[in-house]
Amino acid sequence: MGKLLSVIVPVYNVSKYLDRCIESILSQSYDDIEVILVDDGSTDESGEICDNWQKKENRILVIHKMNGGLASARNSGLDHSHGELIAFVDGDDSISKDMYRSMISEMENDQADIACCGKNKIYDSGKKVVTQNCDNKMVFNTSDAIGNLLTGISIDESACDKVFSKKIFDNIRFPEGEINEDLVIMPILFSRSKTIVHVGRPFYNYYQNSGSITRSAYSEKAHVYIEHLLKIESFVEKEFKELKDDYLILLCRYSCSLMYRIYSQKNGKKEYRKDFNWYKKSFNKSFPVYIRYDGLSGKDRILSVLMYIGLGRPFSMMNTFRKKIKKDLMR
């Protein structure tokens, strides 16, 4: 018998994909698993699907709750978990068969509290792009792992491509009522881990809706990105001063991305002028460090340069128009 792994699946209106997700977890080559399905007030058939799976599989626990958002669902799963190890899978994604066996084995080999893997980003067209991966297994100390997390090349803030020792969640939970909750909690979890391992293989299947042009729209809720970035800046300044440049890389890539999202919306810059000005100021401050970073993809480098020389808006408008035409042709 190995250590029990609690796999927490937040479920909200994902009936079309939920069977695929659950089957991929139950098919794992690592046997010591409990699956906690947290129905977060679904209004489709997701809750019924969860109940049907519980009736035929004794490794499944179902929690039905009022809708509270992703963080609330994850926290509920954590509160009901029995395992020494914790993992998260989103209800519209899936995982490869050997994901948890491989990751837990490497955790045990290196006495690590967190294991990470790469992701397969899968589009409607069938196109697959591997992200947050490295060519070989890598073992990090706390500072190096947080630095890698901030730069976002082989490790990012997602909770779903990782396995955690449950003990590092003591007295800490995902911030509820916010979006992008992984960004602000992950550096704290990493700081509680003396060793973090990346297994060097992409096991998590992250499905994309390539036809959507509204998926990444900026909104009032997105203001919390600023609060999160400021919290991380304070955390780095207090606990890991040697990672100042890594934080600036995080700040620049987030500021660039969020300016692009605002640009992509009609009247977005006017509607969210205060937020935009904060991102612009932060981008200009961090760009000199960011552009020198040799881990940038060609796409990220080009976008950041266009933003810096003032061509971000026409580029975003052109790209939005291209996606709209593509979506219309797919109908």
Strand pairing category for 138-141 and 195-207: antiparallel
- DSSP category for residue 29: S
Question: Who has greater pLDDT, 124 or 168?
Answer: 168
Q: What sections of the chain are H helices per DSSP? A: 18-26, 46-56, 70-80, 99-110, 142-151, 181-191, 224-239, 244-263, 268-271, 273-291, 298-308, 312-330
Which architecture characterizes domain 5-207 according to CATH?
A: Alpha-Beta Complex (3.90)
Please name the amino acid found at residue 174. Answer: F
Angstrom distance (rounded) from CA 64 to CA 74: 12
Phi, psi of 142 (to 5 degrees): -60, -50
- DSSP category for residue 133: -
Q: How confident is the model at residue 216 (pLDDT cuts 50, 70, 90)?
A: low
Q: Which helix (H) or strand (E) holds 38?
A: strand 33-40
pLDDT at residue 213, as a whole number: 39
pLDDT at residue 33, as a whole number: 98
Question: Who has greater pLDDT, 215 or 201?
Answer: 201
pLDDT at residue 2, as a whole number: 87
Angstrom distance (rounded) from CA 165 to CA 57: 25
- When mean pLDDT is compared across 1-5, 129-133, 146-150, 311-315, the lowest value belongs to 311-315
Rounded to whole angstroms, the maximal C-alpha distance in the chain is: 59
pLDDT at residue 320, as a whole number: 58
Segment 93-143, tens digit of pLDDT: 999 999 999 999 999 999 999 999 999 999 988 899 999 999 899 999 999
Segment 57-79, tens digit of pLDDT: 999 999 999 999 999 999 999 99
Angstrom distance (rounded) from CA 95 to CA 158: 14
Kindly list the domain boundaries of the chain, sorted by start residue: 5-207, 220-330
pLDDT at residue 262, as a whole number: 93
Q: What would the two tokens of residue 316 be?
A: 């975003």
Segment 244-267, tens digit of pLDDT: 999 999 999 999 999 999 988 889
User: Over 60: is that where the pLDDT of 203 sits?
Assistant: yes
pLDDT at residue 217, as a whole number: 81
Are the CB atoms for 107 and 60 separated by under 8 Å? no
pLDDT at residue 318, as a whole number: 61
Q: How confident is the model at residue 272 (pLDDT cuts 50, 70, 90)?
A: very high
Q: How confident is the model at residue 330 (pLDDT cuts 50, 70, 90)?
A: very low
Q: How confident is the model at residue 36 (pLDDT cuts 50, 70, 90)?
A: very high
Beta carbons within 8 Å of 145's beta carbon, 6+ residues apart: 114, 155, 190, 193, 196
Tokens 């909200």, located at residue: 12
Average pLDDT, rounded, for the chain: 92
How much helix, strand and coil, in percent to the nearest 5, is found in the chain? 50, 20, 30
Give Cα 246 distance to the centre of its chain.
18
Angstrom distance (rounded) from CA 19 to CA 92: 9
pLDDT at residue 212, as a whole number: 41
Q: Does pTM top 0.85 for this prediction?
A: yes
pLDDT at residue 186, as a whole number: 98
Burial of 328 (C-beta count, 10 Å sphere; 0-12/13-18/19+): exposed
